[in-house]
Chain A
Amino acid sequence: MAAVGDQVDVGRRAWKVVAERELRDLWLAGRGLPLLLAYSVLLSATSYLVAANQALNFLEQREAVSLTLQVAVAVSALLVLLGAADSVSGERERGTLESLLLSPAPRRALIIGKGVAAMSLWVAAWIVSLPYVWYLGRGVDVVGVAVASGLVVGSLLALFLAGYGLLISTTLSSNRLSLSVSLFALLALYAPTQMPTAVQNSGIGELLLRVDPFTAGLRYLGNLIISGHSPSQDARWLIGPVVTAVVTVTVALTVADRLTLTGGDQA
């Protein structure tokens, strides 16, 4: 009984230890800051174009906030996906996974720790986006709504992509393959936004938009900021992001118990 209690205690402490190490690697020795720098350059360019470019400046101020926020949320989710997709398969390729697997930490704790590090990219990106949203939204009273709704939707999308990236990274042996599959999936998730309006308005089109966490989440943001809807009025648009986030994280944690040195596709 005491041994089981010890194991649970080790698991509880292990994910924190792994998360701390991963966070240090990401932000002090890794690519966290360069990724965030590229993200801020993109946000700067978007915000400046929205404000200065004549072709984009027709946008009503709420639409400018919505556009910038949607870019911020979508790209920060991409950062999370990059971090998560590299987490295990990257260690495999660098030959450092073996030492991790030999540690007494439960495998699920390893994945949770890596997930926390990947999610930190979203938190940092959200903080970086705050001044842009504040500047564009001041005067039309949408800053609070934009910041809060961006946090909710962005967290759901980040959780979904962190779970998905970890799942792919745990399963595949090659880092290149893991990143390719993850980015391909991300492109597929953006695809419904390119459907013709008539298809989007059809029953099956709307179902697809609601199921796809990206289109549903970004639509929710647009409805809140541009149309001035209340948070509960369009809450059904959040069903897709919530369900996909819960499912992918659960599956990723389940598969984590079967984490191997070579990866599922090599076993």
Chain B
Amino acid sequence: MLALTYHRSVPAFALVRASGGNPEVATSALSMLHLGDVPEPELPAAGWMRVMPSLSGVCGSDLAAIGGHASLYLDPLTSYPFVPGHEVVGVLEEGSRVVIEPALGCVVRGIEPLCPRCAEGRPGLCYNATEGPIEVGLQTGYCASTGGGWGEVLVAHPSQVHAVPATLSDEAAVLIEPLACCVHAALRGGAAKSDVVVVVGAGTIGLLTVAAVKMFTPPKRLIAVAKHPTQRDLAMALGADAVITPGDAFQRIRFATAARRLDGVDRSLLLGGADITFECVGRADSLSDAVRFTREGGVVVAVGMPGDERVDWAAIWQRELTVMGAYAYGSEPKRKGRRTFELALEAAPELRLERLVGPLFSLGDYRDAIAYAMSAGRLGAVKVAFDLRGLRA
């Protein structure tokens, strides 16, 4: 089958990283990413099924891996070579449309009894990511055994498969996985009606977090921090009460929260500030700002995938912040244990997610796709995706 494959290569990783993630280098013959004909993944156990991806998104975590700035922490949790792509809408062999819930927890791996985290309904935190009939990996799209959305076929456990209602287009359904991440993040953050909430970053994760917070935990005021005009418009359309630029963040959040602002040597800080901040960029600058404009005793939720970023922990320490990660999805105790994917699928129609998707690229144009995705915000795009429907025809 035709697929893009990510190979583990320290020299290639070093080269791409040295280039600063330049897309020309990151998709060159010397990079980790290669397009080619590879064997279809085998069904690992009885009950697994073949899924033919229709659309598969290019996620920030994919770009981090391809651009050489992913955290090396994830390396031992990944098996190589793998076919990337974990934001997938596809069809089963019998023709029904499905989206894939990529987390590879105990249930998917056929492990009994479930590890404590999987028993809690948190398969993204599975202790057994190295066990079972498939290779090590946290998710489909980072596991050598399962294939991924950037190939013609992947294999999935029945528990990973969610039917897509006919009313939801492929373009909207391809965002169910990131929307589920953001619903999970919103519920983790648990904003109250009296809170001022800030969502930093307005890429896919930032925008969907805005939407999820607005729908699931509507606060008193929801402020989005967005850099580009299209992002600003979408943030407002998805429910932000105000959209501000990164440069204005301290001033505008100070005003919204009636905090006090002090200007330090390197950056400002607020005395007071946002009750909850969802950090959806994952970079040092953004994280450093977030811990300075979130109020003392407040909560910072890391939603965007961070790498090895330098953040001054003094603010976290002195402000007694609760910094929590929000990774993946599962079952939501604050929603009577319902699956996050179910919540996302229910929420999706109202959000008109297709407006966030495009342009679409064929696998053969992956270099253009990656380059476009790396500059999506500047180019007015949100979710760049591969369109594999042509391969089936």
* A and B part of one assembly: no
Measured CB to CB, the residues of B under 8 A from A are: none
Measured CB to CB, the residues of A under 8 A from B are: none
